[in-house]
Structure 1
Amino acid sequence: MSSIEPASDDDPFEEQRERVDDPMRRLVGEYGRPYWLSVLLGVLASLAARLLDLLPVILLGVAIDSLFQGVEPFSLPVVPQAWLPTKPIDQFTLVIVLITASFVVGAGFHWLRNWGFNSFAQDIQHDVRTDTYDTMQQLDMGFFADKQTGELMSILSNDVNQLERFLNDGLNSAFRLAVMVVAIAAYLVYLNPQLAVVALSPVPLIALFTYIFVTTIQPKYAAVRSSVGDVNSRLENNLGGIQVIKSSNTEAFESGRVDDVSRDYYETNWGAITIRIRFFPGLQLISGAGFILTFLVGGLWVFSGSGPGPFTGTLSTGEFVVFILFTQQLVWPMAQFGQIINMYQRAEASAERIFGLMDETDALEDDTGSDDLVVDDGQVAYDDVRFSYSEEPVLDDISFSVDGGDTLALVGPTGAGKSTVLKLLLRLYDPDSGAIRIDGQEIQSVSRTSLRQAIGYVGQESYLFYGTVRDNIAYGSFEATDAEIQAAAEAAEAHNFIQNLHDGYETMVGERGVKLSGGQRQRIAIARAILEDPDLLVLDEATSDVDTETEMLIQRSLDNLTTDRTTFAIAHRLSTIKDADQIVVLEDGRIVERGSHEELLRADGLYAHLWGVQAGEIDSLPQEFIDRAARRQARTETAEDD
């Protein structure tokens, strides 16, 4: 895909999301089970805290009717009458003590409730994020070729955080409000069933209103999560290529592209916001109507002394006050319930993306239980290997062998499949058919860990991690001593320039090694491979970013490194591989020539023509070679624009 194409409007994880069923049940079932004690503690504490929160209102109603107006005998729900004091002042004191205790003890239960739900949410958030990242690491490179870093970061960061917000705030609030609504409704029915029907009459309408909201908002939130990934991808691409943007004077163009994806997010999110801002005021109006109706009927009831219209019996002032206060407490929870549904829908959309990624089928076959690779001679053989990227054939009938300790060079035009051949050896991909063997052991039958421990790899892009020079050389060999690290740097012709850095081996390299030159990054990457002391060595354009003089120095150290070590090398500078024991020439994914440097020159084929290009003998090249090069270049450019 061309790097200047606008971001796609499609959800890059739509295929994965469609495979996920009931993601929230799976989230709680798979990840919540180990932490059931935390959430149980939160639930019980929430129940106790909510019941204690209701106690002051109940005691106020009792005090009004029995202590202040004297129309009812002093009594408390579920408390035997014999346990209660008989003197008014003692009764008043008991009410004060109970109200005070409800606030003090309730505060303790509120803290315990928050601790339980927060612990539950944080534990699940940690497990989901680490499991999702671990799943990503197991996927083959074809998956990453189709996804942008920003999209993946959006899942690991935004989507996982969205789950934590629901499990903490949403689940906490949902249970708290459920307890409150059920407890208030039960007490109102106990106090006066007839007026309770009036107070609870909005509930069915709220349920219908919420159902309509849920079915409308759910697809909106899925689109919002996708657009967040588009924004992250664009920003990640632009920040990573900030040097190119500045040197190309394309700030205005890139600002326009960021504006485009940000506008898409704005419009998608605003569509969800529009539905949400209509829902919550409507829900509050319905809840408020229940409060007004309760106040109207209850007020007339107290004024007249008997039930208005179809209502019968009496309603005391204290009971009326309790109804008004509790109905008011019902209004906000009912309106807030919509907010919980809103959080749930956001979390469900995020869970779909997370589990869709976890269920990704592009992972290499699990090697659990596989034997470790044992390297004796280091003999490597490719047997009729075929491979395709997304059904596009890349390699066809690749067969060759290299004896242990020998160096094999892969040569060919850009796009011939050279790097892919070596990526198959590292099992970054698995071949569609055929087999690759090391000392007779098929690499798909051994553990990937032991395979990659046996192979040192230096690629075209010398990726350095944020940290020190020392950290980057020792990456993968974390127990290496300072002396070993320095020896590896010296072998890679890196020690001298490292000593000249401000902090030597403790110098921070910056993100992706931005503070170092391309040649310096390359030499640190080579030092990393040297320190690993692998049985096999893979050099994929390992000297592509260094000048001729530095290349000579590195080549000298690589010659020592490759002695008695099976080595694969790719190089566009053919002078660096002319001494290889065997040279395999690829064109369009097939082997077209093989032999030593001298043999291939005498054959006067593709290798000889490529050598002639680098020797400056362009005028002597046959027209057929030039025409084929033009066709290959056209195909490469077309593939990049697709």
Structure 2
Amino acid sequence: MKFLLTYLRKHRWLIALTLLLATIGQLFSMMDPYIMRLMIDKYTSNLNKYTTDQFIQGVITLGLAIIGVAMVSRIAKAFQDYFVNLITQRVSTEIYNDGLKHALSLPFEVFEDQRSGETLGILQKVRTDVQRLLSTFINIMFVSLVGIIAVTIYSFSVYWAVGPLFCLTIPILIILSSFLTKKIKTIQKQIVGETTALAGSTTESLRNIELVKSTGLVDQEINRLSETTNKILELEIKKVKYVRSLSFIQGTVINFLRTTIIVIMAYLIFKGNITVGEFFSLFMYSFFIFGPLNEIGNLINIYSETLVSLNNFKMLMDKTPEIFPSNPKKVGIIDSIAFEKVTFTHPTATKPALKDINFKVNKGEKIAFVGPSGAGKSTLIKMLVGLYQPKAGQVKYSGIPVEEININEIRNQIGIVTQETHLFAGTIKENLLFVKPDATDSEIEKVLRMAAAHNLLDRADKGIYSTIGEGGIKISGGEKQRLSIARALLRNPNLLVFDEATSALDSLTEEEINETIVHLPGNEERITILIAHRLSTIMHSDCIYVLEAGQVVESGTHWQLLEKKGLYFAMWRQQVGMVEENPEMSMN
């Protein structure tokens, strides 16, 4: 709860105003029984003391007083409700936004080990639970506390023996309530954990709905998710059992205590210690105490849920975000990239994914990395864009080590096309504007044609304003890749990375895009890095690095590597079926 207080302090004056309004509303609503007491003791119990006019005037005056205090109470309550909603919405939104901001700033490794739906589940749950807790605290707990204090003070003023009767009920009920609270908290923690896992699993299933439906695994997925929902149901039923048990015990004890107090007050009337009006007012005031006490079970339930949600949220916020230097050096336009004896090992791996990697590429050059699956190509790209940090060695941009710069300065200069396309629900234009929000329609259409996406444009009913569905579900794999390439080109990057960019394309389109990559405007002013399985896409690179088991085993131009008759030669022969003659050698 200390974590929640840090957010509440920002709105302390608004909270103070709301509590003041709640106090005013409650106190004025409690004046009704007191006025009724005056009406009974002063008028209805002494009819012989007043004339008809005096009686009517006195009763009407008190009636108008009842209307007046009720009006003040309702006005205060209306403003109280408005400010309560304002506080709950602001605080829950700030918590959600801070959680989202922190989650997006976490290192890439964190997202490799958990489902994105789980993080979303944590943020949504804490937002909802905080709203419920704050609303319940102000509208029920605080208002009830004001009522309890006021009734206790009033009961002492009526007769000294009545006050202790009301005071004793509160600790008795708190002791009874604490008996089942711990079990409820334990169950609630399990429920939140299972619900968060369910959110992650459901998100994955919906994201991969094409695979689920095309492979006939809908029933399997339904059964898998139903197991979790049934487990949550069992826990919810178990929790309800404890909460209802708590409510039953509370209700029974409250009814007994309330009846006891009424009997004692009736005896005090008989003894002449209190009047009928005082008895009637205390009877009505008992509802201000015993009514809220009946809600203790629900309050404990809400508190337990919120406590678990806040603990999960705090665990998320305690994760260390990406670390940037306090005084980063400015890189400016990237004119070179160098890996110097770079080694990297995944946290769960026993062997390095990359080992002693050395290379340097300057502005205007194009290099490529090839190798069998698992050779470390994707890991190298992730390190290149700062998603991984080297365990040994250095990565340098324009001669400056990566740990001395703000990596976002580098990322802002990168255009990247990965094998797995990352598209968003919406239109073609919206997907491209993601990297350049101020791009014009003509710029968008230009890069789409540069990426050989003209066929997509020609058949789209609304051109660049056509929707493509979540993840590009309405278009083909090749068209997704073309959109991804166009998005990278729209940024006009200083570092252009193609990670298996043409893997989903047919040979003719691949040839078109390769031709586009070779003759892209501004190539002489940027660094181009290619990762490929198809060697035909990288054969015109200035230098090709061959990776095997995380190490560079060969490097050189396409023809130099063929002449070495090593791993690259074997891969080329497997793909092409024959080795072409080096045109440079044939000229000699």
Please confirm whether the aligned pair reaches a TM-score higher than 0.5, indicating the same fold: yes
Instruction: Specify whether residues 165 and 50 from structure 1 end up closer, same or farther in structure 2 by C-alpha distance, changes over 3 A only.
Output: same
Q: 2-side partners of 1:329 and 1:44: how far apart?
A: 18
Q: Tell me the residue number matched to 1:27.
A: 4
* Residue of structure 2 aligned with 1:238, choices 195, 205, 224: 205
**Alignment-derived partner of residue 203 in structure 1:** 170
Question: Which residue in the other structure is 2:258 paired with?
Answer: 291
Aligned to 2:44: 68
Match of 1:177 among 133, 141, 144: 144
What is the SS of the residue equivalent to 2:519? helix
Query: Secondary structure of the equivalent of 2:295?
Result: helix
Contact 1:509 1:515 in 2 (8 A): yes
Residue type at the aligned position of 2:406: S
Q: 1:369, CA displacement in angstroms? A: 4.0
Q: Which position in structure 2 is the counterpart of 1:383?
A: 340
Match of 1:365 in 2: 323
1:385 alignment partner, SS class: strand
Distance 1:550 1:146 in 2: 36
- Structure 2 residue aligned with 1:320: 279
Q: Deviation per CA, 1:555-603, whole angstroms, max 9, x where unpaired?
A: 1111122731211111111111111111111122222221121222222
Mapped partners of 1:256, 1:418: distance in 2 = 38
CA 1:72–1:375: 2 relative to 1, 3 Å = farther
Answer whether contact 1:387 1:432 (CA < 8 A) is retained. Answer: yes
What letter matches 1:317 in structure 2? V
How many angstroms apart in 2 are the aligned matches of 1:442 and 1:88?
93
Give the secondary structure class of the aligned counterpart of 1:544.
coil
- Secondary structure at the aligned position of 1:32 is classed as helix
SS of the residue 1:508 aligns to: coil
Give the whole-Å Cα distance in 2 for the aligned partners of 1:301 and 1:37: 45
Q: Indicate the residue corresponding to 1:7 in structure 2.
A: none
Note if 1:546 corresponds to 2:523: no
Instruction: Compute the displacement of 1:210 (Å).
Output: 2.3
Give the gaps of 5 or more residues in structure 1: 1-23, 75-85, 307-312, 618-642
User: 2:19, 2:138 within 8 Å by CA — same for their partners in 1?
Assistant: no
Q: CA deviation at 1:88?
A: 4.1
Deviations 1:345-388 (A, max 9, x none): 11111111112111102x22134542332125x22100111222
Counterpart of 1:557 in structure 2 is 516
Whether the 8 Å contact between 2:542 and 2:557 is mirrored in structure 1 is yes
C-alpha distance in 1, partners of 2:64/2:325?
Answer: 67
Q: Is 1:107 equivalent to 2:78 in the alignment?
A: no
Q: 1:583 aligns with which of 544, 555, 560?
A: 544
Quote the Cα distance in structure 2 between the aligned partners of 1:590 and 1:531: 33
Q: CA deviation at 1:158?
A: 2.1
| Amino acid across the alignment from 1:69 | S
In structure 2, distance between residues paired with 1:529 and 1:546: 17
Residues 157-183 of structure 1 show CA distances to partners (whole Å, capped at 9, x for unaligned) of: 122221122122344322111111111
Question: Match for residue 358 of structure 2?
Answer: 399
User: Corresponding residue for 2:58?
Assistant: 91
Question: Is contact 1:368–1:447 with CA below 8 Å preserved after alignment?
Answer: no
Asked if 1:143 is matched to 2:110, the reply is yes
The reply to whether residue 454 of structure 1 matches residue 431 of structure 2 is: no
Q: Is 413-422 or 321-330 further displaced after alignment?
A: 321-330
Give secondary structure in 2 for the equivalent of 1:373.
Answer: coil
Aligned-partner Cα distance in 2 for 1:73–1:189: 29
Identity of aligned residues (%): 27
- Choose 495-504 or 577-586, whichever is displaced more: 495-504
The Cα RMSD (Å) is 2.1
Give 3-state SS (helix, strand or coil) of 2:294's partner.
Answer: helix
Letter in 1 for 2:460: L
Shift of 1:72: 13
Residue 488 of structure 1 corresponds to 447
Q: Tell me, what secondary structure is at the counterpart of 1:371?
A: coil
* TM-score normalised according to structure 2 size: 0.93
User: Counterparts of 1:233 and 1:257 in 2: how far apart (Å)?
Assistant: 13
1:556-635, aligned counterparts within 5 Å?
A: 556-561=515-520, 563-564=523-524, 565-616=526-577
**Alpha-carbon distance in structure 2 between the residues aligned to 1:399 and 1:68:** 101
Shift of 1:616: 4.8
Unaligned runs of 5+ in 2: 579-588
Among 415, 420, 424, the alignment partner of 2:374 is 415
CA distance in 2, matches of 1:73, 1:117: 48
Look up the equivalent residue of 2:438 and give its one-letter code.
E
Partner in structure 1 of residue 32 of structure 2: 56
Structure 1 contact 284–331 (Cα < 8 Å) conserved = no
1:134 maps to which residue? 101
> Is the contact made by 1:181 and 1:330 (CA closer than 8 Å) also made in structure 2?
yes
Report Cα offsets for 1:261-319 as digits up to 9, x if no partner: 112222233332222121122112222211111122222333xx21xxxxxx5221111
Corresponding residue for 2:583?
A: none
Query: Counterpart amino acid of 2:66?
Result: I
Question: Matched residue of 1:414: which SS?
Answer: coil
1:593-617 deviations in Å (ceiling 9; x for gaps): 2112122222222222222322358
The match for 1:440 among 379, 399, 407 is 399
Task: Give, as a single letter, the amino acid of the residue that structure 1 aligns with 2:218.
Answer: E
Provide closer, same or farther for how the CA distance between residues 266 and 613 of structure 1 changes in structure 2, counting only shifts above 3 A.
farther
